[in-house]
Amino acid sequence: MQGSSFRRSSVAGLPAGSGSALPALLLVGLFFIVPVVALLLRSITDPEPGLQNYAALFGSGTYVRVFLNTFLVAGVVTAVTILVAFPVAWMLAIMPPAMGSIVFGIIILSMWTNLLTRTYAWMVLLQRTGVINRALMGLGIIHAPLPLINNLAGVTIGMVYIMLPFMVLPLVGTLRAIDPMTLRAAALCGASPFEAFRRILLPLSLPGIAAGGLMVFVMSLGYFVTPALLGGTSNMMLAEMIAQTVQSLLNWGLGSAAAFVLLVVTMALYAIQLRLVGARRTGGGI
């Protein structure tokens, strides 16, 4: 039975079944592809044709520092997120469902809570006179307030908070797909728990860790809100720099060039991530 409207669309000269995607294609083409391509063209034509914007971008110590800082923050955030997320995902994969659903509920609540609300909470918590500094001083662990905001520490705490769900949730799936028998077999063969972890559990969850980690890294590279509010002026990240260049300095050429660099890096890493997820899917069938 192919008597649906699909056949009619092929009469109109369109490939079968593509017709109903037309509104979406028009919308995305006209208001996404066209503006993004126009922006990229602007990076080589504004103020005059040439590559001067890219020369300015890579020739200036200030901008190179922004690039390095962006990669540093994204790298640190990804590493910390993986370390924190793995044990949680591990427990969620094997916990009794009643206990697990409480943790899942908390993860969803934090994930669905407005991004600015969460960032605002961290701004207040991490202040010089904030709860965390007071608590640490009250406990006698530190004697002077730690600088926890407007620096790398603040951005890392805030970003890890936001990225955790994106790492935990897919990892739970990966860990649940591992057959517990493989570990029982390892134990029977005399492997210590540490050895079983290092040689069985970790390697088997590595595709999930890599895919999730790459996603967190890519998202962190282009993040705007949290770094802008929790970070300092001395360690600005790429997204904030792009926004500022365009909005305050009105330097569209330079801003477009920086946006193009961000786009290329993001898309390249995303392509790698897609291959990893694809590889995991086929690998899971074994």
Partner 1 sequence: MLLDYDRLGWLRVALVGFTAAVAAFLLLPVVFIVLLSFGSSRWLAFPPPGWTLKWYQQLLADPTWIDAALTSARIAAMAAILAVIIGLFASFSLVRGEFRGRQVLRGLLLTPMVLPVVVFAIAIYAFFLRIGLAGTTLGFVIAHTILALPFAIIPITAALEGFDKSIEDAAIVCGASPLQARLRITLPSIRIGIFSAVIFSFLASWDEVVVAIFMASPTLQTLPVKIWGSLRADLSPVVAAASSLLVGLTLCLMIVTALLRRKLSR
Please tell me whether residue 180 binds partner 1 under the rule CB under 8 A: yes
- Between CA 104 and CA 97 the distance in angstroms is 10
- Between CA 161 and CA 48 the distance in angstroms is 43
Least Å distance between CB 143 and partner 1? 20
Least Å distance between CB 63 and partner 1? 16
Contacts to partner 1 from residues 102-161, by CB under 8 A: 102-103, 105-110, 112-125, 127, 129-131, 134, 161
Least Å distance between CB 75 and partner 1? 17
Least Å distance between CB 61 and partner 1? 23
x/- track of binding to partner 1 for residues 158-177 (CB under 8 A): ---x--x----------x--
Least Å distance between CB 60 and partner 1? 20
- The size of the chain, in residues, is 286
Instruction: Kindly tell me which residue out of 96, 138, 140, 285 binds partner 1, with binding defined by CB under 8 A.
Output: 96
What DSSP string runs through the chain?
---SHHHHHHHTTSPTT-GGGHHHHHHHIIIIIHHHHHHHHHHHHSSSSSSHHHHHHHH-HHHHHHHHHHHHHHHHHHHHHHHHHHHHHHHHHHS-HHHHHHHHHHHHHHHHS-HHHHHHHHHHHTSTTSHHHHHHHHTTS-SS----SSSHHHHHHHHHHHHHHHHHHHHHHHHHTS-HHHHHHHHHTT--HHHHIIIIIHHHHHHHHHHHHHHHHHHHHT--HHHHHHS-GGG--HHHHHHHHHHTS--HHHHHHHHHHHHHHHHHHHHHHHHHHHHHHHHHT-
Question: Quick one: 152 or 157, whose CB is closer to partner 1?
Answer: 157
User: Residue 36 region, left (φ>0) first, then alpha (ψ -120 to 50), else beta?
Assistant: alpha
Instruction: Kindly tell me which residue out of 54, 71, 166, 252 binds partner 1, with binding defined by CB under 8 A.
Output: 252
Least Å distance between CB 226 and partner 1? 10
Least Å distance between CB 140 and partner 1? 19
Span interacting with partner 1, options 58-66, 140-148, 220-228, 275-283, rule CB under 8 A = 220-228
Question: Quick one: 93 or 152, whose CB is closer to partner 1?
Answer: 93
Span interacting with partner 1, options 52-60, 87-95, 140-148, 275-283, rule CB under 8 A = 87-95
Least Å distance between CB 201 and partner 1? 5
x/- track of binding to partner 1 for residues 27-66 (CB under 8 A): xx--xxxxxx-xx--x------------------------
Contacts to partner 1 from residues 192-211, by CB under 8 A: 193, 196-197, 200-201
Question: Quick one: 124 or 142, whose CB is closer to partner 1?
Answer: 124
Using CB under 8 A, count the residues that bind partner 1. Answer: 98
- Between CA 193 and CA 186 the distance in angstroms is 9
